[in-house]
Amino acid sequence: MGFDDGWYSVRRDTMHQTTRILPSSHESLGAVDNGDAFVLDAGFIIDPKHLFVGPKIGEGAHAKVYEGKYGLQRVAVKILQPAGAPEDRAKLKAGFIREVAMLSRVKHRNLVKFIGACKEPLMVIVTELMEGKSLKKYMLGMRPKLLDMRSSVCFALDIAKAMDCLHVNGIIHRDLKPDNLLLTADQKTVKLVDFGLAREETLTEMMTAETGTYRWMAPELYSTVTLRHGEKKHYNHKVDVYSFAIVLWELLTNRMPFEGMSNLQAAYAAAFKNVRPSVSENIHKDLVFILQSCWAEDPDVRPSFAQVVRMLTAFLCTLPDPEKNCIDLEKRSVETTAPESAVATRADVAVNDHTCTKTSEKGNSSTDADTPVGNSKSMFQCFANCFLSRYC
C-alpha cells in the first residue's frame, strides 16, 4: 500500500499528562508482578499529527530509520516493523519499552538526543538527526589511509564518555560497534545510538548470551556450547569495555577486526582461543596498554570507562593541538565524566550537554512554535495521515 492509499486518524488523550506503557515480560522493565508500569513523561510523547517521514536512512532486523521532521525540527524516525506472531509482537513491544525507558533516562553530549516516542498506532522512537556518516562509513571512505592520531583518540574519548554515562546509570549497551556510532555534521564529534539491545544491569540478572555483533562481542557472551543461541549467562558491564577495545583498535588501524575470518570464526577464536586483533609496532605503547587492558579475557581485569577516560585524556595531552591545551582537556574530562561512585537517582538533575545526567521529569514539551505552519511536507510524508497507510 502506498503513501496515499488511504488515511489514518490518530487521536491523542489530552486529559492525561502521561502515557502508561505496560511491560510485557520480566526482562523488560522488572517489577511486573507488582503491577508497575513505565510512565513516559508527557514532554516525551510524540504527537503523530506533527511527525513527517522522509527518505529511509537505515534498516535493521526489526526496524527502519527515516529522516523526518517533528514540527520544524529535523529528526531521525525509528519505526519498529509490525510482527506477525503474538510471541514476536510481545518481544518487540518489550524491546521498545526498554529502549524508550533508557533513552529517556540519560542525557550526554556523546549520546544521541532523545526527542520522544509513541506506542500507537505504531511503535516509533524519535531522536536528533545526525548529519554526519556512521563511524564505519567514515573509516571505510578513508581506507587504506589511517585517521590522524588526534582524531582517533578524540573519537575514542567521545565513545568512552558516552559509555561511562550509561554504566553510571546501570545500563549495558551490548552492541557497541562503528555502525552504532554516528558523527556530527562537522565530523568532529561521535555520538552513540541504538539502545535496542541495551539492558539494565542488576546483581542477580540472567541475560541472554550471543547478543550483539560477533566481531565486537566479549568472549564471556558466548556459551560453553559453541554459540548455542538463547542460553542464559551471567555477565556484567565489562562486556562493553571489550567491545570498546575492538573499536579503538579499528580507529588506530582502520582495518576490519579479525580479517580473513567469518563472523563465527572470529567469535570462536576470541572466545575459545583468546585470539585478539594484531597490534602493530606503530601503535604507541600507552594505547597498546589500554587496548590489552580493555580486551583482557578476565572481565574483572578490564578497566572501567571512567578509568579509560582518564587514560585517554592523559595521552591526548601528549599530542600537539593548535586549538586547546592540556588544562582545557583535563577540565573537560572532569566536567563530562561522572565519578565511578556516582549513584543514579530519580530526582531531577540540571541538564547540561557536557554532563552525564538523567533527564528532567518535566521533559521537553512541544510548544506552538514547533507546530508546522501551512504545508511544510515538501519531501516528507505526513506520518499520521499518509505514512501509516502502508502498514494499517
78 is in an annotated binding site: yes
Instruction: State the Cα–Cα distance between residues 105 and 388, nearest whole angstrom.
Output: 28
CATH 1.10.510.10 domain extents, the chain: 135-336
Reduced to 3 states (helix: H, G, I; strand: E, B; else coil), residue 381 is: strand
Q: Which residues are catalytic?
A: 175
This prediction has a pTM of: 0.73
- Of 356, 359, 360, nearest in space to 165 by CA: 356
Region label for 104, one of left (φ > 0), alpha (ψ between -120 and 50) or beta (otherwise): alpha
Residues 62, 81: contact at Cβ < 8 Å? yes
E strand or H helix at 331: helix 326-336
Per-residue pLDDT, 283 = 95
Instruction: State the Cα–Cα distance between residues 119 and 173, nearest whole angstrom.
Output: 22
Tens of pLDDT, residues 25-56? 323 222 233 334 556 778 889 888 889 999 99
- Of 349, 364, 361, 356, nearest in space to 106 by CA: 356
Nearby residues of 91 by Cβ (< 8 Å), 6 or more positions away: 25, 83
Ranges of residues in the chain with a pLDDT under 50 are 1-36, 198, 201-211, 223-228, 338-353, 360-378, 392
Which three cell numbers mark 262?
567469518
Per-residue pLDDT, 200 = 52
Instruction: State the Cα–Cα distance between residues 30 and 28, nearest whole angstrom.
Output: 6
Residues 48, 118: contact at Cβ < 8 Å? yes
Reduced to 3 states (helix: H, G, I; strand: E, B; else coil), residue 126 is: strand
Instruction: State the Cα–Cα distance between residues 157 and 147, nearest whole angstrom.
Output: 15
Nearby residues of 337 by Cβ (< 8 Å), 6 or more positions away: 161, 164, 306, 309, 310, 356
Instruction: State the Cα–Cα distance between residues 200 and 29, nearest whole angstrom.
Output: 8
Per-residue pLDDT, 13 = 34
Total Cβ atoms within 10 A of residue 57 = 14
Which three cell numbers mark 391?
502498514
Max distance between CA atoms of the chain, in angstroms, equals 65
**Residue given cell 486518524 in the structure block:** 9
Reduced to 3 states (helix: H, G, I; strand: E, B; else coil), residue 40 is: strand
Residues 166, 172: contact at Cβ < 8 Å? yes
Tens of pLDDT, residues 262-287? 888 898 899 899 999 999 999 999 99
Nearby residues of 345 by Cβ (< 8 Å), 6 or more positions away: 358
- Of 85, 171, 173, 68, nearest in space to 128 by CA: 68
User: Cα–Cα–Cα angle for 155, 237, 269, nearest 5°?
Assistant: 80
CATH 3.30.200.20 domain extents, the chain: 19-129+362-390
Residues 329, 316: contact at Cβ < 8 Å? yes
Q: Which CATH architecture has domain 135-336?
A: Orthogonal Bundle (1.10)
Q: Which CATH architecture has domain 19-129+362-390?
A: 2-Layer Sandwich (3.30)
CA distances (Å), 89 to each of 40, 122, 245, in order? 20, 12, 35
